[in-house]
């Protein structure tokens, strides 16, 4: 199993550009989430999904869109990038239930100029 994969690993954007961060998992997990990591603030939840076709907002959703058309994929879209979105982005997946543990992808380092 590849686990949770994310592409790209690094990305530089100019203000106003759009892009999609890709996330895929091959563990048949129902739950998938996106977090951003900023210095001194830990990881904060952006959006999450409890299954195909179902998404919801996390703590910091503004400026980001998500959709979940398949169990495996959970892309994160930045429609108009801003310097405040410079961060490291992590995707995670888990199975539902009391014993679930979130497994994280390797992260995408995004810089918005």
**Within 20-79, which residues bind other proteins (CB under 8 A)?**
31-33, 35, 40-45, 48-50, 58
**From the CB of 19, what's the least distance to other proteins, in Å?**
20
Distance in angstroms between the alpha carbons of the first and the last residue of the chain: 36
> Considering only residues 82-111, where is the footprint of other proteins by CB under 8 A?
88, 90, 92, 94, 96-104, 106-107
Q: CA-CA distance, 51 to 41, in Å (whole number)?
A: 28
Q: How many CB atoms lie within 10 A of CB 9?
A: 10
Contact assessment for residue 71 and residue 51, using Cβ atoms and an 8 Å cutoff: yes
Considering the rule CB under 8 A, would residue 2 count as an interface residue with other proteins?
no
- Interface residues with other proteins (CB under 8 A) are 31-33, 35, 40-45, 48-50, 58, 88, 90, 92, 94, 96-104, 106-107
């Amino acid at each position: 199993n590849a686990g949770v994969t994310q592409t790209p690993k690094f990305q530089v954007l100019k203000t106003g550009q759009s892009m999609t961060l890709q996330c895929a998992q091959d563990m048949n997990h129902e739950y998938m989430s996106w977090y951003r990591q900023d210095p001194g603030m830990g990881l904060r939840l952006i959006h999450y999904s409890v299954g195909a076709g179902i998404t919801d907002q996390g703590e910091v959703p503004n400026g980001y869109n998500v959709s979940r058309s398949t169990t495996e994929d959970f892309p994160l879209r930045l429609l108009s990038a801003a310097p405040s979105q410079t961060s490291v982005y992590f995707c995670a997946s888990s199975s539902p239930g009391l014993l679930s543990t979130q497994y994280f992808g390797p992260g995408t380092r995004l810089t918005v100029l």
